[in-house]
Amino acid sequence: MTVTQDWLRCVTPRPEAAVRLICLPHAGGSASFYAGWGALLPQAEVHAVAYPGRAHRFDDPLAEDLVEMAREIADAIAPLADKPLALFGHSLGAAVALETARALEAAGIPVVHLFASGSRNGPLPGPLPPPSEDPAELVEQLIRLGGTDPELAKDPDFQDLVLPYTLGDGKLFHAYRMSEEPQLCCPVTCVVGDADDDADIRPWAKIAPEGFVEHIVAGDHFYLSESPPDEIIAATLGGHGEGQDA
């Protein structure tokens, strides 16, 4: 298995597509979260990032440094740069997308657009307290955020499988300290639910001088489980998908 194959999953290969969309999951998420997005976005070839410690990478050590993980993701994406690249990240994935975009741009690989989902524009908050390691509290948090079926979240087998890497992702995210430099060379679009009280906050408008737009949509932190923002993505990337077959 190559580095690219290890990190990326593409359920719907679309070699004729004019743009590739790289999707980065939330904390506790996996590449399978984006399994249906290829069908929703016929103008793009969708690749989902597989974080270590879950699914086919269950035996791989969990990442401990978000910036370093983003550099490894950028290395895996680089062979796909024969076509325009866009990044989509939800929650934790938005921060990983930011650092991945920086790593790609530092390597001379342009990113045409960054979509920061579950993240809103605002002053960067101070350090957050470490996430709880109490399994019961983690389960309640998963249920409250809306990304996990309540009955499934309470299943002991599910907890044994999912909670370790969910906690690892939480530690990774809370340890991350974002620098406001370097600025991005690509424009940024934020998409956030109107009832999302848990949105990630970053100074996107400040670090994206090439353009920033924020869309408020109906829903909570996991609005995209029921209503993926495919129309926003398609309209934003439309110039790169013109002339492609549906």
Find residue 90's DSSP bridge partners.
117
Catalytic residue among 47, 90, 91, 117: 91
30 assigned to active site: no
To the query of whether residue 91 is one of the catalytic residues in this protein, the response is yes
Task: Check residue 93 and give left, alpha or beta (phi > 0: left; psi -120 to 50: alpha).
Answer: alpha
- CA distance linking residue 201 with residue 84, whole number of Å: 27
Contact 135, 107 (CB under 8 A): no
The encoded tokens of residue 29 equal: 């998420």
H or E element, residue 136: helix 135-145
From the candidates 26, 90, 113, 221, which is the catalytic residue? 221
**How many Cα atoms sit within 13 Å of 165 on the Cβ side?**
22
Report, as residue numbers or ranges, the catalytic residues. 91, 221
